[in-house]
Amino acid sequence: MCGILGTDGRLFSNEKKVFERAFSALNHRGPDDSGIFNDDSVCLAHKRLSILDLSQGGHQPMATPDGRIRIIFNGEIYNFKELRADLITKGRAFKSATDTEVILYGYAEYGTAFFSRMRGMWAFAIYDNTAQKIILSRDYFGIKPLYYSFEHDLFSFASEIKSLVRLIPKVTPNSDLYYQFFNLGYFMPPHTCFKEIKKIQPGEIVTFDSKKRTLEHGYVGFLGATGRIEELTFQEAVDLVDTTLRDSLIHHYISDVPVGLLLSGGTDSSLLAAMSKAVGKSPVAYNLDILNSSDAYYAEKISKHLGLTLVRGEMPEAKLEEQYQKVWEILDEPLADYSIIPTSLIYSHVAGKSKVVLSGEGGDELSGGYLRHIKFADLSRLEPKNTLWRIFDVAASGNSASAIKYFNPLIQRVRNFVQDKFGNDAIAAYLAHSRTIDYPIKRERLQSDMYDFFSSFPFGNSGKNPLGLFFDRFLALPNDLMYKTDIASMMYSIEARVPFLDKVLFETVLTRLPSKYCLSPEYSKKILLKKVLEKYLPAELVERPKKGFGFSFHRYHFKSFRSDLDKALRFHQSKAQAFGLGGAMAGLLAPENGELLTKKYSAFAFALVSNWRVFKTLI
């Protein structure tokens, strides 16, 4: 896991200090080594966290012997040994034991078509000197981040926005799209909070032609032709997922440093722990006791049953306050998901003990494990009751003089229930159960944005992704969950690996299994993965209520947060139009609403503070 940065070679020559400031913003991503290559066309810079081939053989930027092709790479390619063997038969000679060199020669041999053969997580840049092109690529699930900017004829890219903004003369709020953030809690790709900065989408390839000064967009091949075995029994499906996940896990243990494991005691992390023992691995397990939650109890029971060493940490209220401040050093995009606080805290607990850890993210997206997936599964069976729906739609989001009415908990619950039971718009239903707040402005435009994304995204409108799962897999997963995981883990120079987000595993589930086993009323509540887990653990350790990794934000008094919220409210009042909070919504921004927002609408309150802190830091 590393950090990458690149720009026009002329900028490095003329503004070396500017580039060095941008490069230093990535220090936490790669404390083990760093390197820079520069010519008239491009400057490539790399911060290295050494995981494979700890020698200088893994130094980057890395080049072919003739210097024609260079690469800077962040991530891991878990099938690099198989790919390397094929390239050797093509006459390629390797000098290192790294996956970076495999990508380098894979591109030299096959071009960008090679990327679809890779199994892993990645964000990299390849400079093809002969073609005078820079090729950027991001993995299928958006596990690793990559941003770019092409403004005033200057093309630049980086692993983090906080680095990229230092290369751009001026950044401005993405005013026209803040309705996306205040509904979803993040900006839909390719957009970010800044107009001048774009994010590479999951599986996307962006090619910059430095002679023509143009951008070309393409995608890595992911899902093959459907081969669903509709007559596959549920037990056969369980066995197939068991075998495929086990194979993914074995590949995720490939490392030249010890690999640890985050163990919450939930289905996903418990399955990784139990399966690890089954394949002959005994990782050190880490658990964070979040204010005396039940997680620590289950983690201890499971680790004891499996014979794993468990390193427990505690999160008292004082530690939360300290970590709350640390979060603002981490974030470089506003985020409405306040579980960034405990997420970053667990990685601070691991720091200095393990350089690589396995994490259970992706299990819910794979198997329909979120509570809202139960509702989506039932939606298609019900008839719309438009008259009743309109009554509650008006009651909950009409033109009331009091903006607080939009947040009335009773009305919102009733509205969500009615839309869930009787609404005939699947995207509206998804938003009803997924958005940060019931935001009435530009709702139709947001639904249109999401439909366009679904229709145009190559992994979307293919008949292999049920709509309710698609948005979690390719919108929420990369832009909330994976962003949060990457930014939090890399702040502490830790590589987080996610075995559930594996190309082969997802291809198996999406193209071979009957879809009902992931999203249907009779197979809800992640029963597929639970049945796999029952092969490894006793029933009393398998069946437990679903609980996300987080805490009830409103229950704990953050001294600094209330002060920050007052400042954030004033900030947004003064720039209400710039952030799409004009009209009736402006009433929410009155300072006297601070206490109400903190207690009852904490996600929206955190979104406001997050937005204010990010702009305060980066502009």
Q: Domain containing 253 — which CATH number?
A: 3.40.50.620
- Flag whether 451 is in a domain: yes
pLDDT grade for 168, boundaries at 50, 70 and 90: very high
Q: Are residues 455 and 474 located together in one domain of the fold?
A: no
The alpha carbon dihedral of 264, 267, 270, 275 has a sign of: negative
d(CA 195, CA 168): 11
Token pair, residue 153, equals: 């004829």
Q: Using only C-alpha atoms, what is the Rg of the chain?
A: 24
Res 442 pLDDT > 50: yes
Res 439 pLDDT > 70: no
Give the DSSP per-residue string, 18-32: HHHHHHHTTGGG-BS
pLDDT for res 576:
84
Per-residue pLDDT tens over the stretch 559-573: 788 889 999 999 998
- Flag whether 347 is in a domain: no
pLDDT for res 376:
53
Domain count, the chain: 4
- Flag whether 188 is in a domain: yes
Amino acid (1-letter code) at residue 480: D
- Flag whether 229 is in a domain: no
Average pLDDT for residues 181-192, to the nearest whole number? 94
| Domain range enclosing 426 | 385-459
Q: Domain containing 60 — which CATH number?
A: 3.60.20.10
Identify the H or E element spanning 305. Answer: helix 295-306
Res 557 pLDDT > 80: no
d(CA 433, CA 370): 10
Q: Are residues 128 and 272 located together in one domain of the fold?
A: no
Q: Taking the model in full, what pTM does it have?
A: 0.90
pLDDT for res 315:
79
pLDDT for res 386:
39
Residue ending a domain, choose from 397, 425, 459: 459
pLDDT for res 397:
34
Q: Are residues 203 and 281 located together in one domain of the fold?
A: no
Average pLDDT for residues 4-13, to the nearest whole number? 87
Residue ending a domain, choose from 439, 459, 479: 459
Bridge partner list, 76 = 121
Amino acid (1-letter code) at residue 597: L
Specify the 3-state DSSP secondary structure of 144. coil
- Flag whether 230 is in a domain: no
> Which residue's structure tokens are 């008292």?
316
For residue 148, give Cα distances in angstroms to 125, 199, 208, 359.
11, 6, 11, 28
pLDDT grade for 444, boundaries at 50, 70 and 90: confident
Q: Are residues 58 and 22 located together in one domain of the fold?
A: yes
Residue ending a domain, choose from 203, 219, 235: 219
d(CA 517, CA 508): 12
- Flag whether 153 is in a domain: yes
C-beta atoms surrounding 505 within 10 Å: 21
Give the DSSP per-residue string, 180-225: HHHHHSSPPTTB-SBTT-EEPPTTEEEEEETTTTEEEEEE-----S
As a whole number, the mean pLDDT across the chain is 85
Least confident of 3-12, 431-440, 583-592: 431-440
Q: Are residues 283 and 211 located together in one domain of the fold?
A: no
Q: Are residues 97 and 175 located together in one domain of the fold?
A: yes
Q: Are residues 70 and 49 located together in one domain of the fold?
A: yes
Per-residue pLDDT tens over the stretch 66-99: 999 999 999 999 999 999 999 999 999 999 999 9
- Flag whether 341 is in a domain: no
Q: Would you say 3 and 123 are in contact if contact means Cβ atoms under 8 Å apart? A: no
Q: Are residues 358 and 493 located together in one domain of the fold?
A: yes
Res 401 pLDDT > 50: no
d(CA 7, CA 18): 11
Specify the 3-state DSSP secondary structure of 132. coil
Tell me what percent of the residues of the chain surpass a pLDDT of 70.
Answer: 82
Q: Are residues 73 and 170 located together in one domain of the fold?
A: yes
Bigger pLDDT: 54 vs 368: 54
Backbone angles phi, psi at 545, to 5 degrees: -60, 145
Cβ neighbors of 616 (< 8 A, separation 6 or more) are none
Res 50 pLDDT > 60: yes
Looking at residue 79, the DSSP 8-state letter turns out to be T
Q: Are residues 85 and 170 located together in one domain of the fold?
A: yes
User: Chain-centre distance of CA 413, in angstroms?
Assistant: 28
Res 58 pLDDT > 80: yes
Q: Which of 489, 443, 476 is nearest to 141 (CA)?
A: 476
Q: Are residues 491 and 406 located together in one domain of the fold?
A: no
Task: Give the burial string for 583-610 (b: 16+ CB within 10 Å, else e).
Answer: ebbebbbeeebbeebbeebbbbbbbbbb
Per-residue pLDDT tens over the stretch 111-129: 999 999 999 999 999 999 9
Q: Which of 578, 586, 587, 585 is nearest to 615 (CA)?
A: 578
Res 367 pLDDT > 80: no
Tell me what percent of the residues of the chain surpass a pLDDT of 90.
Answer: 59
- Flag whether 215 is in a domain: yes
Q: Are residues 263 and 400 located together in one domain of the fold?
A: no
Q: What angle do CA 47, 144, 266 make, to 5 degrees?
A: 120
Token pair, residue 298, equals: 């289950």
pLDDT for res 460:
55
Amino acid (1-letter code) at residue 350: V
